[in-house]
Structure 1
Amino acid sequence: MMRPTRIRAALATAALATVLTTLGSGTAHADKGWEETAAQGTTPAPSNGARHCLSPDGVDINALLSIREQIIGPPNCRVAVAWKPWVRAFPSWGTAADSATAVYPAGYTPSLPKPMDDFILKFLGVRVTQDIGTPQERSFSFGPEVLRLVTIEQGLPFANFATPALPGLKPGTHTSTVFFRMSFEHCDGLGTVREESCLPAGETPYTGNLPFEVVKKHATPAG
């Protein structure tokens, strides 16, 4: 399943600190998912030599999710250094704020009143497959720990995801595909069209086959 989703992450300012909820160590449908957006330039290299990943909204995802490794996912974050560990981030899952405002497809009844609570209850984890359909294909399975943070934006909760560190890759073009695993069907409470608002039970594609580049080393910024 693919739908227009996004990473929407509020910066931890004093005004927003009370709405950030960390979930262990481990969307507005109108927005186009950043998985489908072409890369526009590169992200800056901080002083420690590792490039931080910025979402299309300008949020530092490394800082937000406390990730030291290179992140692959958003448009400006699709280059990794060869043989270095990397982390796969993927678009957030947003839901209605509560049962009072939630709307669902015909025949669907949530297990918990709040749609985000219902999602967390049913979310089993992900399978991340690199170089799918090639002799180099390899899959990694993770549990609910990939759900790193729930943020609140404009009154709506968003679950933000990132995997643990993945093994480094050889130089060249690679791909990454994310599959969700759900214990039961979940609907986000934001619409009545099942194909747009629901995740089925079992395993289903959550992203497309995202291409990214692995290089021997990052180019030194000019100037």
Structure 2
Amino acid sequence: MKRARFLAAVVPSLLVAALGGVAATAPASAAPASAAPLPKPKHEVPHCVTDEGDLNVLYHVKERLIGPAACRETYAKEKWVRIVPGWSTALSGEGAVYPDGYTPSRPDPIDDFNSKFVSATYILDRGTPQEKTFTYKKKQILRTGLTGPDGLPYSVAISPPFKAPELGTHTTTVLFTLSAEHCDGFGTVVDENCLPGGTFPYTGDAPFTVVPKPDN
């Protein structure tokens, strides 16, 4: 299977807003008013930042992202989102190269992939008594119309939020289901350039750890 990769783009820095107020002058005879407690800042989970950028910002995800090697930890009692490497293809059908006998269903390779993508299945703790399986259709998870820094189109599956399991180490595995074989237009080697029809593992068993949520 072709090596898919996590893709990012240059994203503007986020602006941070500050709270302000106007102090009122109390009469000299009045006792000093006690200061109202400041609102506790809303906790924000750490972002998934790789060499290619901040994936939370890129994909507008507020929950913890689990997927890349640098992003394999989440807090207890919080929700997390599984992200997998995006699937990129040749820019267009013009000049695309395919294995012998393969005919795409759409002129452009990325449209061919999107049209054949059916669903993704997420397996938590595969092969253990705690195994749980969740399947989501294309319209629920597949983000399309994306372009990487190299100018190539890609699509990426981003899960809905999951509840964190109990403290400790767990695994998460992602399967894709395609309606038919898809090839990316980059070459003629089926094992490197194509995804099979049906259901198949898109990732291995990626370990991640659930840790106690910090007090502050």
| TM-score normalised by the chain length of structure 2 | 0.80
Deviation readout 1:72-126 (Å, 9 max, x if unpaired): 0112210011121110001110100011121111110000010001101000120
| 2:111 is the alignment partner of 1:122 | no
| 2:177 is the alignment partner of 1:181 | yes
Partner Cα separation in structure 1 for residue 118 and residue 47 of structure 2: 28
What RMSD in Å do the two structures reach over aligned CA positions?
1.9
- Counterpart of 1:191 in structure 2 is 187
- Counterpart of 1:53 in structure 2 is 48
- Counterpart of 1:7 in structure 2 is 6
Trace 1:11-26 onto structure 2 (pairs within 5 A): 11-12=10-11
- Counterpart of 1:159 in structure 2 is 155
| 2:60 is the alignment partner of 1:66 | yes
Trace 1:23-172 onto structure 2 (pairs within 5 A): 48-57=43-52, 59-144=53-138, 145-149=140-144, 150-172=146-168
Partner Cα separation in structure 2 for residue 101 and residue 48 of structure 1: 49
Alpha-carbon shift at residue 218 of structure 1 (Å): 4.7
- Counterpart of 2:201 in structure 1 is 205
| TM-score normalised by the chain length of structure 1 | 0.78
**Which structure has the greater CA radius of gyration?**
2
Alpha-carbon shift at residue 152 of structure 1 (Å): 3.7
Partner Cα separation in structure 2 for residue 179 and residue 188 of structure 1: 18
8 A Cα contact 2:8 2:54, kept in partner: no
Partner Cα separation in structure 1 for residue 49 and residue 112 of structure 2: 29
Aligned residues: 186
Query: Structure 2: which 5+ residue stretches go unaligned?
Result: 13-40
Q: Percent identity?
A: 45
Partner Cα separation in structure 1 for residue 172 and residue 215 of structure 2: 23
8 A Cα contact 2:119 2:177, kept in partner: yes
Partner Cα separation in structure 2 for residue 138 and residue 70 of structure 1: 19
Deviates more, 1:186-195 or 1:211-220: 211-220
Partner Cα separation in structure 2 for residue 9 and residue 116 of structure 1: 17
Give SS of 1:153's match: coil
Query: Structure 1: which 5+ residue stretches go unaligned?
Result: 14-45
8 A Cα contact 1:8 1:92, kept in partner: yes
Partner Cα separation in structure 2 for residue 169 and residue 130 of structure 1: 9
Partner Cα separation in structure 1 for residue 11 and residue 101 of structure 2: 39
